[in-house]
């Protein structure tokens, strides 16, 4: 059971990190053209507390993933990471008003079917 909690932790921290980063970056605009301005722009982004928290979230997700790897074969556990695609898709539609298209929905259905099929295997 703990292995699944580790996978869930990985997914949740990954999803938070992606959504928080997207939300805050939208306040900063596009990446500048020149190399010097790009470096300053990215450094400013890293100093934003919400963006920094998304980077910390990615690190915490990695810790959960390492714990999950002690419980499962990677070929069994990794397909569950695809659930983060589904959650990011759903939340981005509600939070950011991103379009929901038939192709995206069909693609996500394939992901979910793949998770169901691969989770039937023995870990």
Give residue-wise pLDDT tens across range 35-70: 999 999 999 999 999 999 999 999 999 999 999 999
CA dist., res. 65 & res. 62, Å (int): 5
**pTM given for the model:** 0.86
In the chain, % of residues over pLDDT 70: 98
Parent domain of 91: 2-119
pLDDT band at residue 91, thresholds of 50, 70 and 90?
A: very high
How many structural domains is the chain composed of? 1
């Amino acid at each position: 059971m703990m292995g699944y909690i580790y996978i869930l932790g990985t997914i949740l921290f990954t999803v938070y990190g992606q959504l928080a980063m997207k939300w805050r970056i939208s306040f900063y605009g596009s990446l500048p053209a020149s190399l010097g301005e790009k470096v300053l722009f990215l450094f400013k982004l890293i100093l934003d507390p919400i963006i920094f928290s998304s980077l910390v979230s990615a690190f915490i997700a990695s810790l959960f993933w390492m714990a999950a790897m002690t419980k499962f074969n990677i070929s069994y556990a990794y397909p569950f990471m695809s659930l983060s695609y589904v959650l990011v898709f759903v939340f981005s539609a509600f939070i950011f008003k991103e379009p929901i298209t038939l192709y995206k929905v069909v693609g996500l259905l394939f992901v979910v079917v793949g998770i169901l099929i691969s989770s039937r295997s023995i870990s």
